[in-house]
């Protein structure tokens, strides 16, 4: 039982093209229908006290979205999951939740994320050849691309934001790039921007088939930790 929870939810192909604001509204409506005792802010325009860790971009699926939520009374994680899932639409599901004793930190805690990016190419490549291309790409000390910010587009060297990349080939001539990238409020590298740079630097004519967020992490004392592990740090 707790007055606040941190929860993880998934978002599949059916909802990958809705924006974060629509996801927020979706949760607001589902929470109202569930009649869970959600806390609200004060003032002329009260809002539910729910904060998302790192909003996902349009076009991505995910099995690792996190949010913090507050209540007016103690609530068991199992009750929250059961009642909210009954009112969420197909394509989005709360997977698990843990008590949250220290509030309002998730946005600053997230610092990295793992993605699976599926892509195809007109020319067939074997595993060794595509491995070599990824290694050569990572050997670049400067991978500068134009990145959109609140103040407009500016050139950014994204190489320090790429922690690791590996590639594997599937039976259907689709390649899967496993990418471990910097994420969060500061130094966030989107997977679509990574693939744009990958295509430009390597000269590959690649088509992105799908992008999926597998995990998010916080960094504590030089260790990568699951957001649940740092919920009450």
How long is the chain?
A: 233
Phi, psi of 42 (to 5 degrees): -90, 170
Where do the structural domains in the chain lie, given as residue ranges?
A: 2-104, 111-225
Residue 106 belongs to what H/E stretch? helix 106-109
Rounded Cα distance, 169 and 188, in Å: 27
pTM: 0.93
| Residue 150: per-residue pLDDT | 72
Mean pLDDT by 10 residues, the chain (233 residues): 93 94 95 96 91 92 96 96 97 96 83 97 90 97 86 89 95 92 91 96 95 93 90 84
Answer whether 2-104 and 111-225 agree in fold. Answer: yes
First to last CA, the chain: 18
CATH class of the domain whose range is 111-225: alpha beta
Return the SS3 of 83: helix
CATH code for the domain defined by 2-104: 3.30.70.580
Q: In three state form, how does the secondary structure of 153-165 look?
A: EEEEECHHHEEEE
């Amino acid at each position: 039982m707790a007055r606040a929870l941190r929860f993880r939810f998934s978002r599949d192909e059916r909802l990958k093209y809705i924006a974060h604001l629509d996801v927020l509204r979706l949760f607001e409506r589902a929470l109202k229908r569930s009649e869970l005792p959600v806390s609200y802010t004060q003032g002329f325009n009260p809002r539910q006290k729910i904060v998302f860790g790192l909003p996902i971009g349009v076009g991505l699926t995910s099995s690792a979205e996190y949010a913090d939520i507050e209540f007016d009374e103690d609530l068991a994680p199992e009750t929250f999951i059961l009642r909210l899932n009954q009112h969420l639409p197909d394509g989005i599901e709360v997977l698990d939740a843990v008590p949250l004793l220290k509030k309002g930190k998730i946005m600053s805690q997230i610092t990295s994320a793992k993605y699976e990016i599926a892509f195809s190419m007109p020319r067939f490549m074997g595993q060794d050849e595509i491995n070599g291309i990824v290694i050569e790409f990572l050997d670049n000390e400067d991978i500068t691309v134009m990145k959109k910010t609140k103040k407009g587009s500016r050139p950014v060297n994204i190489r320090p934001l790429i922690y690791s990349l590996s590639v594997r080939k599937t039976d259907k001539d689709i390649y899967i790039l496993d990418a471990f990238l910097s994420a969060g409020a500061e130094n966030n590298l989107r997977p679509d921007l990574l693939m744009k740079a990958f295509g430009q630097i390597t000269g590959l004519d690649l088509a992105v088939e799908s992008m999926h967020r597998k995990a998010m992490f916080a960094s504590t004392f030089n260790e990568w930790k699951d957001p649940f592990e740092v919920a009450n740090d």
